[in-house]
């Protein structure tokens, strides 16, 4: 049995170090999510390399940090008032100490510079990843406050999810229809900016099928925190089924639907209008015209001109003003516009 004194001592210890204990608990639980939230839990070769670089930098930093942590209390104790250390009031210089104080930081900076240089070139986001299979091309467009993923080879576009086969690398082209945004899938690595009228590139790969969280890491307004998506690495047959389902059940990409989607709104707000309120966090577009991404890069007017006219859901166009439908209520179906 535990004595009363031991119980009091343990209780005092827990109260004194409760912040550190909670921090350790949070770090431990951070790896329990099925969505793989961090590059410290890498799910692809890029994130794995970045994790290796991170721990290398931490270990190299400890060369400086650990001696400071260990020697500071030792020096305070050794040279305390009334201690036994030799008192040297006229000591001014030590060549060995100077070499140690200046040489160690210079050496660390030199090593880090070399590692940074080589890693920057090895992990160049524009450089295709080595693979025996052709990469899947996906064109990414950032809006306020949602992402659109265009699959030019499949003729579809998806909002809310980035789906790709796990056995093929990803070749992403990115732009923004609005302000600058930052595309980031932490578990796969390498965030990159998406900018209006510009195209950036990013190459990623997953090591196995899985689900990963993606986000915009650049603040862009009041609904910035909702601009997230799910990236899913699928088995090849599952990706083929996904493409077929999008072609069959997706809504056609018309000019009116694109204008509603491009308006400032969250994905759920746009989904209630465009996708008849399915509320599954996903909008599938079929019949996406070739060259849509390039038209979006060149300007919104060119993108609208490329799309065919079609049904519109409702007005006003500002979907952020549309109230949420109550549970069990039906959504007004699309109505075709009168021929002009």
Q: Note the Cα 339 to chain centre separation in Å.
A: 44
Give the Cα separation of 6 and 146 in Å (integer): 56
Find out whether 146 and 178 touch, Cβ atoms under 8 Å: no
Give the Cα separation of 309 and 50 in Å (integer): 46
Higher pLDDT, 219 or 15: 219
Backbone angles phi, psi at 232, to 5 degrees: -125, 125
Q: What is the pLDDT of residue 332?
A: 39
Q: Write the class of the CATH domain 136-308.
A: mainly beta
Give the Cα separation of 232 and 94 in Å (integer): 60
CA distances from 339 to 166, 258, 306, 309 (A): 45, 19, 19, 10
The rounded radius of gyration (Å) of the Cα atoms in the chain is 28
What pairs with residue 171 in β-bridges? 137, 203
Q: What is the pLDDT of residue 93?
A: 86
Q: What is the pLDDT of residue 125?
A: 94
Q: What is the pLDDT of residue 37?
A: 67
Among candidate residues 164, 166, 145, 168, the one with its CA nearest the CA of residue 156: 164
CA distances from 21 to 15, 31, 33, 207, 269 (A): 10, 17, 20, 33, 41
Q: Is the preceding omega at residue 316 within 30 degrees of 0, hence cis? A: yes
pLDDT reading at 7 higher than 90: no
| Residue partners of 188: CB distance under 8 A and separation at least 6 | 42, 43, 44, 46, 47, 204, 205, 206, 212, 231
Topology (CATH level 3) of domain 38-122: Helix Hairpins (1.10.287)
Find out whether 4 and 11 touch, Cβ atoms under 8 Å: no
pLDDT tens digits, 227-262: 999 999 999 999 999 999 999 989 999 999 999 999
319: DSSP letter: G
pLDDT tens digits, 162-192: 999 999 999 999 999 999 999 999 999 889 9
Same fold for the pair 38-122 and 136-308: no
Mean pLDDT (whole number) for 47-67: 90
Give the Cα separation of 211 and 220 in Å (integer): 25
What does the CA dihedral 149, 152, 157, 158 come to, rounded to 10 degrees? -40
Give the Cα separation of 279 and 8 in Å (integer): 54
Find out whether 164 and 172 touch, Cβ atoms under 8 Å: no
| Residue partners of 220: CB distance under 8 A and separation at least 6 | 144, 145, 178, 179, 180, 181, 227
pLDDT tens digits, 277-306: 566 788 999 989 999 999 999 987 888 888
Strands (E), the chain: 136-143, 146-151, 156-159, 161-165, 170-176, 181-184, 192-194, 200-204, 210-216, 228-234, 251-252, 283-286
> What is the pTM (predicted TM-score) of this model?
0.76
Q: What does the angle CA 26 – CA 30 – CA 33 come to, to the nearest 5 degrees?
A: 140
Most distant CA pair in the chain: distance in Å?
A: 99
Percent of the chain with pLDDT over 70: 79
Give the Cα separation of 178 and 196 in Å (integer): 6
Q: What is the pLDDT of residue 337?
A: 39
Q: Where are the domains of the chain?
A: 38-122, 136-308
Q: What is the pLDDT of residue 283?
A: 93
Find out whether 263 and 298 touch, Cβ atoms under 8 Å: no
């Amino acid at each position: 049995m535990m004595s009363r004194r031991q119980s009091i001592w343990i209780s005092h210890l827990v109260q004194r170090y409760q912040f550190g204990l909670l921090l350790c608990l949070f770090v431990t639980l951070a790896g329990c999510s099925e969505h793989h939230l961090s590059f410290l839990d890498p799910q692809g070769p890029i994130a794995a390399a970045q994790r290796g670089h991170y721990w290398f930098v931490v270990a190299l930093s400890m060369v400086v940090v650990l001696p400071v942590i260990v020697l500071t209390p030792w020096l305070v104790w050794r040279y305390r008032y009334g201690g036994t250390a030799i008192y040297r009031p006229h000591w001014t210089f030590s060549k060995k100490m100077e070499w140690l104080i200046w040489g160690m930081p210079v050496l660390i900076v030199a090593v880090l510079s070399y590692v940074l240089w080589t890693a920057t070139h090895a992990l160049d986001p524009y450089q295709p990843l080595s693979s025996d299979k052709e990469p899947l091309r996906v064109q990414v467009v950032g809006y306020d406050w949602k992402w659109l993923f265009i699959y030019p080879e499949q003729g579809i576009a998806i909002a809310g999810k980035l789906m790709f086969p796990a056995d093929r690398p990803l070749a992403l082209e990115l732009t923004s229809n609005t302000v600058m945004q930052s595309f980031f899938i932490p578990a796969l690595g390498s965030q990159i900016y998406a900018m209006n009228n510009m195209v950036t590139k990013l190459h990623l790969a997953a090591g196995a099928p899985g689900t990963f969280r993606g986000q915009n890491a650049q603040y862009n307004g009041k609904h910035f925190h909702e601009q997230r998506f799910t990236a899913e690495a699928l088995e090849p047959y599952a990706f083929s089924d996904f493409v077929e389902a999008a072609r069959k059940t997706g809504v056609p990409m018309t000019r009116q639907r694109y204008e509603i989607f491009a308006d400032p709104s969250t994905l759920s707000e746009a989904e209630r209008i465009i996708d008849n309120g399915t509320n599954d966090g996903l909008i599938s577009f079929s019949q996406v015209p070739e060259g849509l991404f390039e038209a979006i890069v060149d300007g919104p007017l060119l993108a609208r001109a490329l799309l065919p006219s079609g049904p519109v859901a409702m007005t006003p166009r500002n979907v952020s003003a549309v109230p949420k439908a109550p549970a069990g209520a039906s959504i007004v179906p699309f109505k075709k516009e009168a021929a002009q």
